[in-house]
Amino acid sequence: MSGRNGELPAYEICECHDLLVIKGIIEDSPAQRNFTFLDVGAGKYTWGRSVSEYLNQEFGGKGLTFRVIGVRGEQNPETTIIEDGCVTRFELGAFKIEEISSEFTKCELTLKDEVDGAWASWTMRHLQDSVGTLKQIVELLRPGKGMLSFDGFVYALEGDDLSPSSLVKNIFPYISELLQDTGNEFLAFPVLQTDNYHFILKRKSSEPCKIPFSYERRETIIEIPSHSSEGIIVFKRQTPRPDVYKMTLDDFNSLNFNMVKLAKTENFYYFYNHQGDRRILCFPDTAPSGSLSILKWIIDKGFWKISNE
């Protein structure tokens, strides 16, 4: 995955196609007229361009307007604001994601409580303060509705073994626990046989996003595979590590999961995606975790739908 820089038109976090998620978000709010979608770490801005094209095709002329905003660290030749049918597209370069709230204020963009869908793909792992930035992004989401899709990053707690392998092993439980701490609904989802993990968070209310950590120190780590080599932050927890609900086969079966073929062996759950490939869904210690409501939304909307064989 090295060299990846936003060339893809979709990120497919938790195996959900972004355009279907966007459609689902819009359909769930029939009275809402204006929507905002955000690409945090936009690379070459391909995502925003393909989302704009889709929104114009699917929702143009229906009285809806959209803001599609991509932000990235690299400088643009110029700040770009493009009026494109029912979409206003922003391509904002030289943007400090760690200061995302104040950076938007500088651009005179009001986004607090207004973002309906945000994606941060292969971005959080590069940030100086991923945890603090996550809090800021969550507070941009529309209360009760807005969703953030993102992938794994490393942080440590006081007393942790700071070897790269141990840090990577902690990504899934630590981010799941962090999301649980915030009090929002979320789905934590392992990516097929890799050390990458996907997460979707749905903002519950307009309350500030709670993170019960205090900053201890920054540690320089030589290299963490597929992650930033810029170092990590070590935090002290102010509350005990919470229990995070791990989904079971019964949960999947109770959610009309006949749409997806599922089998369980001693160590793995399997499911078949729509191409019919057999894929590993989870290992016992990385079972999909969090709240069933998001899993139910994904299944009810048919994002994982396959033809029955």
What are residue 74's DSSP bridge partners?
none
The residue within the footprint of ligand SAM, chosen from 87, 97, 115, 188 (CB under 6 A), is 97
Q: How many residues does the chain have?
A: 309
Q: Whose Cβ is closer to ligand SAM: residue 96's or residue 169's?
A: 96
d(CA 186, CA 180): 8
Q: Whose Cβ is closer to ligand SAM: residue 97's or residue 137's?
A: 97
Three-state DSSP at 298 gives helix
Minimum CB separation from ligand SAM for residue 97, in Å?
4
Q: Whose Cβ is closer to ligand SAM: residue 18's or residue 139's?
A: 18
Q: Interface mask (CB under 6 A) for ligand SAM, residues 77-96, using x and -?
A: ------------------xx
Q: Do 94 and 76 form a contact (C-beta atoms < 8 A)?
A: yes
Q: Do 33 and 65 form a contact (C-beta atoms < 8 A)?
A: yes
Please tell me whether residue 4 binds ligand SAM under the rule CB under 6 A.
yes
Q: Give the DSSP letter string of 77-115.
A: SS-EEEEETTEEEEEE-S--GGGHHHHHHHTT---TTTB
Please tell me whether residue 17 binds ligand SAM under the rule CB under 6 A.
no
Please tell me whether residue 121 binds ligand SAM under the rule CB under 6 A.
yes
The residue within the footprint of ligand SAM, chosen from 10, 16, 21, 43 (CB under 6 A), is 43
Please tell me whether residue 197 binds ligand SAM under the rule CB under 6 A.
no
d(CA 66, CA 59): 10
User: 10 Å Cβ neighbour count for 82?
Assistant: 13
Please tell me whether residue 122 binds ligand SAM under the rule CB under 6 A.
yes
Q: Whose Cβ is closer to ligand SAM: residue 219's or residue 300's?
A: 219
Q: Are strands 65-71 and 147-151 parallel, antiparallel or unpaired?
A: unpaired
Site stretch for ligand SAM (CB under 6 A), options 70-78, 168-176, 277-285, 294-302: 70-78
Residue in the shown chain whose Cβ atom is closest to ligand SAM:
41
> Applying CB under 6 A, what is the total number of residues that bind ligand SAM?
20
Side-chain half-sphere CA neighbours of 190 within 13 A: 26
Residues forming the site for ligand SAM (CB under 6 A)? 4-6, 8, 11, 41-43, 72-74, 95-98, 121-123, 126-127
